[in-house]
Amino acid sequence: MSMLITTAASAVIGILAFNGWNASMEDTVLLLREVTIARAQETVNRIIHDCSTGMETVVSSSNVRRMVEAVSEDATKTFLDYPDGLSAIWSAASKQAAFQNLGVATGNDDAHSNYVLAIPNLATVQPVFLIQDGSTGFNTTNKYNLAAKPVIGLSGNGMVNFVPIPAIPDPALHTPPKPIPSYDQSSSTITGLWGAVVSDKYGVSFPLFWLLWKDQPLGVAIPNTAPSGVGIMALSVATIEAFLVTIYISPNAVLSLWEADGTMIAASVSNITLGANGNPLERYSALSCPDYRIHQTAQYLFGNSQSLNVPATFTGSYQGHGSSSGEIYVSTRWMLDSYGLRWLLVMSVPKEDFTGRFIRTRKTVVGAIVGTAVGMTLLSAALAYLLVLPIRRLTAMMVQATNFDFSAVKQGVLTKNGFTEPSEIVRCKQVFHTMLVKFSDAIQNNKALQTGVLNSVHSRSVQANSERSAAGPPHNTHETRARDRDMV
């Protein structure tokens, strides 16, 4: 009975434990989702922040500002006349892999501006400075030619080292800086300005511009006056995409980065950002992305509207279809900066990827618990039987002894001990065996005593009868009775 109660109690405890397991599993899955997307958000934010602050440091440098102002004011001056300024730009650009290019320009019209761009990080291009100024000569349209000046690197004293060859005119890799975004020309303050995205054979990049006014610190503008120069930086999406690929969530999970209108920026899956409408330089919309997980998630997030009306932090799920059947978990985070950047980080994970392992583990644990419980029950029953059996035998021999059956002593049963018998049972058998032997001896002795007395009485009775027969009939009844009493 106790074994049944114990087994039932174990079952109840197991049921309660697995009910708690279900709740705990949901909490754990939610925590994993939160931790994963928070990690991705933190790293992407850091890449953006490092690029923007690195650019601010460069365009705030006195060497760079002196170079820009000199070239903008004197047509005879070129950027190559200011190695300190070029070295400051190259040093900053080469330290941050997310810089596709970094540099400065004079004025605010790229078609007629002088500019210099450091390009140290493109794997398919030799490190170069792109330069467009008086050092590169004039062409027929009276505009300076563009030239590429190959760079070896920085010398021991931190100065830029050029390859000792003439500048290469009209390099094929050139993509002129995009026009500067509009700004409030009447304002006395200015911030960084994100420009139109660039998609070219080197990937996707987002340009950031800082307008500069002579003798004014960064962020201060002279109202209704054209800037004397501009800082230029292009943030390469390739670095962000390379990071997203390293985040392993599950076999079927995907991380993607969208613009506010849903245009793809980057993803943890290769070759799904560019290629829309057969154009290798045109980016996909998330709604038409060839990856089913992304476009189904976009349909879910857009809903029936034409915009992404999701809060700063969003967690939800939807029922997938086709290749993405089953419940799909979705988590999103807006990526914002003080210059107006607004990207959406999206994580899509099939529920089965998260819960499948938990469920399989739970089944294994259930099987182990059931097997252990059954095994322990059978083992307990076997042990109980082995322990109770000697007691039953001893009880049966006791019952036999009450009927003066001492066969247990004769057969030596009480002196034979099994290896499973507890020492207490063995001791009881020894004591009971001793008791039976003594009791049997006492009975035997008592039988012998009774037999001897009866034989003596019988002999005396026979002798008396013989004497009476020889003496004849009795003459005195009183004497005869007295003699009989004496005989007895």
For 253, counting Cβ atoms within 10 Å of its Cβ (0-12 exposed, 13-18 middle, 19+ buried), the class is buried
Tell me which residue has tokens 């207490």: 424
Which class for 181: exposed (0-12), middle (13-18), buried (19 or more C-beta within 10 A)?
A: middle
341 & 431 share domain? no
Burial 299-327, CB ≥16 within 10 A → b, else e: ebbbeeeeebebeeebeeebebeeebeee
Give the Cα separation of 133 and 110 in Å (integer): 12
Residue finishing a domain among 193, 216, 237: 237
Question: What pLDDT score does 86 carry?
Answer: 97
Claim to verify: residue 46 and residue 74 sit in the same structural domain: no
Instruction: With H, G, I as helix, E, B as strand and everything else as coil, classify residue 69.
Output: helix
Q: Under a CB-based contact definition with an 8 Å cutoff, are residues 189 and 219 in contact?
A: yes
Would 143 be classed as within a structural domain?
Answer: yes
In the chain, the number of structural domains is 3
Which residue, among 472, 469, 464, 452, has the nearest Cα to 488 in the 3D structure?
464
Residue 382 lies in a domain: no
Is residue 283 located within the same domain as residue 216?
A: no
User: Do residues 286 and 346 both lie within one domain?
Assistant: yes
Residues 38 and 96 grouped into a single domain: no
CA 47 to the chain's CA centroid = 24
Number of C-beta neighbours around residue 24 at 10 A: 13
Residue 220 DSSP label: B
Phi, psi of 163 (to 5 degrees): -65, 130
Q: Residues of 440-472 as b/e, b for ≥16 C-beta within 10 angstroms?
A: eeeeeeeeeeeeeeeeeeeeeeeeeeeeeeeee
Q: Tell me, yes or no, whether 416 lies in a domain.
A: no
Whether residues 203 and 252 share a domain: the answer is: no
Indicate whether 413 belongs to any domain. Answer: no
- Domain end marker among 237, 265, 286: 237
User: What string of pLDDT tens digits covers the 488 residues of the chain?
Assistant: 555 555 555 555 555 455 555 557 678 778 888 999 999 999 999 999 999 999 999 999 999 999 999 998 888 899 999 999 999 999 999 999 999 999 999 875 555 578 899 999 888 788 999 998 888 776 555 566 788 899 999 998 899 999 998 888 877 656 666 778 899 999 999 999 999 898 887 788 999 999 999 999 999 999 999 999 999 999 999 999 999 999 888 888 999 999 999 999 999 998 899 888 888 889 999 999 999 999 999 999 998 788 888 999 999 999 998 766 789 999 999 999 999 999 999 999 998 887 756 666 666 766 666 677 677 777 777 766 666 667 776 677 777 666 666 666 666 666 666 666 667 777 776 676 677 777 777 777 776 666 655 556 556 666 666 666 666 555 555 555 555 444 44
Q: Are 43 and 148 part of one and the same domain?
A: no
Q: Which domain holds residue 448?
A: 426-487
pLDDT given for residue 178 in this prediction = 72
- Residue 366, in any domain of the structure: no
> Encoding tokens for residue 44?
């992407």
Q: What pLDDT is stored for residue 95 in this prediction?
A: 92
Do residues 145 and 285 both lie within one domain? no
What SS3 state is found at 274? strand
Are 66 and 17 in the same domain? Answer: no
Q: Which two tokens stand for residue 348?
A: 């899509």
* 67 and 209, same domain (yes or no): yes
CATH number where 334 lies = 3.30.450.20
Which of 357, 381, 412 is the endpoint of a domain? 357
Residue 43 lies in a domain: yes
Residues 103 and 231 in one domain: yes
User: Does residue 376 fall inside a structural domain?
Assistant: no
Task: Return the pLDDT at 83.
Answer: 96
Residue 409 located in a structural domain: no
Closest-CA residue to 273 (of 362, 328, 203, 375): 203
> Quick one: 230 and 266 in the same domain?
no
Which is nearest to 101 in space by CA: 179, 220, 217, 203? 203
What is the per-residue pLDDT for 437? 72
**Alpha-carbon gap, residue 348 to 33, rounded angstroms:** 10
